[in-house]
Amino acid sequence: MSNSRNNARFTVSTVESRVPRVRRRAQAKAAANSRWNNWAHTQSCTPSYMHQPHDDEGVISVIKAAKTDGTTVRPLGAGHSFTSVATTDGHRIQLDRCAGLVELDAANQTATLRAGTRLRDTPGILRPLGWALPNQGDVDPQSLAGAISTGTHGTGLGFTGFAGTVKGFKIVTADGVVRHCHPDAEGIDGELYRLGRLGLGVFGVLTEVTMSVVPAFDLHADEHREEFDSLRKSFAERCKEADHLEFFWFPGQRETLVKHNTRIEPQRHRRPSRNSLKQRLGSARTYLNDEVVNNMGLLACCEIAKAIPATTDTINRIATNTVPERRYSNEAHKVFVSPRRVRFSEMEYSVPLEAASDVLGEIRDAIARKRMKISFPIEVRSAKADDVALSTAYGRDSAYIAIHRYWKENYREYFNLIEPIFKAHEGRPHWGKLHTLRAEDFAERYPLFGEVQALREKVDPQGIFLNEHLRDLFC
């Protein structure tokens, strides 16, 4: 594997070097003429330059150009963050050409992947080799660098978010140095590992990540309805018994939609003949549930509720009762991930696991008092405590409560109503989702935040990796 790894890097570097720097920069500027919007259409910007480097040398050249210009550098993944973490009017780096497997270490159960690798591509890389990521969220367009750097997570009290699985990484810092960061590294490299595994791109540009992997597994899914009040009160205990538990609740409804996934040994998933009845029925059921009910149905509900708010409660009740209850087994990533085609705005906070019941009760009561009509469900998940300095699960088992608003509706009144509840229960906002906290708030919520600020200032005194949003968070 080492030979192919070296050859791949040599080829990429050679191709990059054949293009004169002036020409590359002209191409980058030409590619940046259009305005960029994130997935949710909550953020936009017009960068002066768009770069797609193949390797570390390409990243270094972008950083040098930004320092010369006195502008900023921001990496771009899938654009799935709801905040302006990725916006810049300077140099934008997209790492899609820095993707793929570098090394699989079966003895240590780790995989080293290039940072631009998309989550959706990791099963195709790892599963044929007998391995898998320990956990996943319910969407997968994100890049590994973006998912790790913003604190993306799945659900399951036995599992951390993506950043908690990082065993080492390679990063290019503002001085143009390629740093190899791992637990045994000395000096700044070691400090970057200790404090910067989750860093929102403020320490530099990630180019490789070494992550824990586990033997490939399947999931048995049990999707059903349960009464909201009973589930919220028992959620913390239920999470301790389940591999992966989450639920969705339309505000004002008595019942919730529950997803309980259990890890099982890989099964042999046969591919029936294209013309077989079993194949046609299976495909039809999947399409009906994932597309017609969960996406087309939700879109129709949101549009009707937006046009006629008085219908929201009725529509939410129909939506809750229409989703079919089902049990099935499949490869893990095919169960974890669901298509999300209806755009929305989102705020998500982590709270101590034991506080979940009270927080959910207060959210229910606040929405009822204001008689707000909310056509998008609240999502509730959990994660294991970790030691990642800026992880929302740092030092505590956590419940994650996410509120959503259809993207064509104004989210501010709803989010402003609920955010104080989160804050009152030691809430920590997801770094890639909407919130109003600033540096002084994070200093109260993260024991190592002062050290993180000091390290950021040390490795990037000019602030070339900062934008206005990140200055509010770290300065």
pLDDT attached to residue 291? 52
8-state DSSP, 425: T
Question: DSSP letter string over 7-57?
Answer: HHHHHHHHHHHHS-HHHHHHHHHHTT-S-EE-TTSS-EE--SEEE--SSHH
Please give the average per-residue pLDDT across 103-111, as a whole number.
Answer: 98
What pLDDT, in 10s, does the model give residues 346-360? 999 999 999 999 999
Residue 88: which CATH number?
A: 3.30.43.10
Distinct helix (H) and strand (E) counts, the chain = 16, 20
Instruction: Report yes or no on 147 lying in a domain.
Output: yes
Instruction: Report yes or no on 425 lying in a domain.
Output: yes
Domain boundary among 175, 193, 215: 215
Instruction: Report yes or no on 108 lying in a domain.
Output: yes
Instruction: Report yes or no on 193 lying in a domain.
Output: yes
**Helix 449-459 × helix 187-196 angle, to 10°:** 130
Per-residue confidence at 2, pLDDT binned at 50, 70, 90?
very low
In this structure, are 193 and 223 located in the same domain? no
pLDDT attached to residue 281? 43
Cβ atoms of 326 and 223 within 8 Å: the answer is yes
pLDDT attached to residue 380? 99
Cβ atoms of 164 and 98 within 8 Å: the answer is no
Per-residue confidence at 31, pLDDT binned at 50, 70, 90?
low
Range in 202-206, 276-280, 385-389, 454-458 the model is least confident about? 276-280
pLDDT attached to residue 322? 84
Instruction: Report yes or no on 405 lying in a domain.
Output: yes
pLDDT attached to residue 25? 54
In this structure, are 263 and 333 located in the same domain? yes
Instruction: Report yes or no on 273 lying in a domain.
Output: yes
In this structure, are 171 and 190 located in the same domain? yes
Residue 169: which CATH number?
A: 3.30.465.10
Question: pLDDT higher for 451 or 4?
Answer: 451
pLDDT attached to residue 293? 58
Number of domains in the chain: 3
pLDDT attached to residue 29? 57
Residue 296: which CATH number?
A: 3.40.462.10
Model confidence at 3: pLDDT above 50: no
Range in 154-163, 173-182, 279-288, 294-303 the model is least confident about? 279-288
The Cα–Cα gap between 385 and 398 comes to 7
Instruction: Report yes or no on 423 lying in a domain.
Output: yes
Give how far Cα 46 sits from Cα of 30, 50, 94, 130, 193, Å. Answer: 12, 10, 14, 42, 32
In this structure, are 35 and 169 located in the same domain? no
The Cα–Cα gap between 254 and 332 comes to 30
The Cα–Cα gap between 333 and 180 comes to 30
pLDDT attached to residue 300? 86
What pLDDT, in 10s, does the model give residues 371-400? 999 999 999 999 999 999 999 999 999 999
What pLDDT, in 10s, does the model give residues 245-289? 999 999 999 999 999 999 999 998 655 545 555 544 444 455 445
What pLDDT, in 10s, does the model give residues 112-161? 999 999 999 999 999 999 999 999 999 999 999 999 999 999 999 999 99
Domain boundary among 215, 239, 274: 215
Model confidence at 24: pLDDT above 60: no
pLDDT attached to residue 12? 31
In this structure, are 277 and 178 located in the same domain? no
What pLDDT, in 10s, does the model give residues 32-71? 558 899 999 999 999 999 999 999 999 999 999 999 999 9
pLDDT attached to residue 23? 47
For residue 426, the SS3 value is coil
Please give the average per-residue pLDDT across 328-347, as a whole number.
Answer: 94
Instruction: Report yes or no on 254 lying in a domain.
Output: yes
In this structure, are 44 and 172 located in the same domain? no
Q: What is the mean pLDDT of the chain?
A: 90
In this structure, are 117 and 56 located in the same domain? no
Count Cα neighbours of 22 within 13 Å in the Cβ-side half-sphere. 0
In this structure, are 229 and 156 located in the same domain? no
Task: Take residue 352 and report the two structure tokens written for it.
Answer: 């101590």
In this structure, are 85 and 122 located in the same domain? no
In this structure, are 222 and 358 located in the same domain? yes
Per-residue confidence at 16, pLDDT binned at 50, 70, 90?
very low
In this structure, are 342 and 382 located in the same domain? yes
In this structure, are 56 and 188 located in the same domain? no
The Cα–Cα gap between 350 and 427 comes to 5
Domain boundary among 77, 94, 111: 94
Model confidence at 9: pLDDT above 90: no
Question: Where in the sequence is the domain holding 70, given as residue range(s)?
Answer: 2-94
